[in-house]
Amino acid sequence: MDIAIDLGSDRTRVFIENKGKVLDEASVITYDIDTGEIYAVGNDAYDMIGKTPVGIRAVHPLDSGVIAQSGLVEDMVSILLQEVCTVKVVKPRVVTAIPCDLTEVEKRAMVNAVSTFGARGVYLIESPKAAALGCGIDITSPHGVLVADIGSGTADIAVISLGGISVSKSVKHAGNAMDAEIIKYIRKKYGLIIGTNMAEACKQAVGCVITPTEEKTFKVKGRDAVSGLPRFVMVTSSEIKEAIEEIADGIVGAIKDVLESTPPELIGDIYTDGVILTGGLAKLGGFARKVSEATRLRVRVHKYSEDCVIMGCGKAMKYIGAADAENGISPILVAY
């Protein structure tokens, strides 16, 4: 039995052969600073962010798609896999997605993290390639396709043809960076200190990157920066747009950079098919329209954009044999 893992900065998803997606939990772990004892992982740990007592810490052990705390990531992966693998899996083969521009050291850290469950082989696939597979696209054809996978840690943009990546670019500032900007904006404008969970909830509720046709409001709760007392303010869609539009502009600029570097033959295919957006941020208010206006191309957002990468990793399992036959390296997967 083979396993696929999408180990993201914000969410960890697991796909098991013949079962489909079996896990979708927050990439968070709560532990004791002194003893290293693990208190919770996943969604349970996410609920503890900003609420833990002294000596207990709840953290995202991945940052911008890269492992920041390897030991914690290994513990988190091991515990989460034990939850979904009720029957002991004997040395499974694992397919996992990675950002486009990881260094060899960063790739090795990712391999070590997902090997803790006793994998007999780890196979890496770039996130845009996995997302394209998850959208049902035949990436082995000579037809070019432009995919932008926009997540919490990174935005990975790539032009794919013949199973490989022709041009790519990775942006390190995406969803999490937007949350940080919302926190700074609320504190500067209203003198209110809020946490990352509140900022994320605000982004999901009223976040947008173009001028909204219908103004929405959201109650943001936090601590007054002067008095230290609890307080709330009502923020609007336009205010959140002001806070996050610079990061959105950076992602759109990266998509344009990729287009400018794409060979003319592939540009014709992209002009016909347009741009495909996947990832959690793909459905952010007005983002698809912003990309379309900037590139003058048709933009499609997959209905289940947040699951495209993990579903694509699951589909990539059928290429494991080809990777093994070609000494660990094939256009689709790279074996470690």
pLDDT of residue 252: 96
At residue 218, does pLDDT exceed 90? yes
Structure confidence at residue 282 (pLDDT): 92
Higher-confidence residue: 118 or 95? 95
Which pLDDT value is given to residue 28? 93
Whole-number average pLDDT of the chain: 90
331 pLDDT more than 80: no
Q: Could you tell me the residue ranges of all domains in the chain?
A: 3-131+309-335, 137-301
Note whether 220 and 194 are within 8 A (CB): yes
Q: Give residue-wise pLDDT tens across range 176-197.
A: 999 999 999 999 999 999 999 9
Per-residue pLDDT, 88? 56
CA-based Rg of the chain, rounded to a whole angstrom? 20
CA–CA dist 36, 221 (Å, integer): 32
How sure is the predictor about 78, in pLDDT bands with cuts at 50, 70 and 90? confident
Confidence of residue 213 (pLDDT cuts 50, 70, 90): confident
pLDDT over 80 at 212, yes or no: yes
| CATH-assigned architecture of domain 3-131+309-335 | 2-Layer Sandwich (3.30)
pLDDT the model gives residue 87 = 56
Q: What confidence category does residue 220 fall into, taking pLDDT thresholds of 50, 70 and 90?
A: very high
Task: Spell out the CATH class of 137-301.
Answer: alpha beta
Averaged pLDDT for residues 36-58: 90
**E strands along 17-163, which residues?**
20-26, 29-32, 38-41, 56-59, 62-63, 66-67, 93-98, 121-126, 145-150, 155-161
Please check whether the two domains, 3-131+309-335 and 137-301, share a CATH topology. yes
pLDDT at position 334 is 84
158: pLDDT strictly greater than 60: yes
Q: What is the pLDDT, as a whole number, of residue 80?
A: 86
Reduce the DSSP state of residue 247 to 3 states and report it.
helix
Confidence of residue 69 (pLDDT cuts 50, 70, 90): confident
Looking at the predicted structure, is the pLDDT value of residue 9 above 90? no
Mean pLDDT of 290-307: 93
**Percent of the chain topping pLDDT 90:** 61
| Residue 288 confidence class, pLDDT cut points 50, 70, 90 | very high
What integer is the mean pLDDT of 106-134? 88
Whole-number percent of the chain with pLDDT over 70: 96
Mean pLDDT of the 29-44 span: 91
Alpha helices in the chain (DSSP H): 43-46, 70-84, 104-114, 127-134, 175-190, 196-206, 237-261, 264-273, 287-295, 308-315, 320-325
Q: pLDDT value at position 187?
A: 96
What's the rounded mean pLDDT across residues 263-284? 92
pLDDT at 279: 92
Predicted pLDDT of residue 132: 95
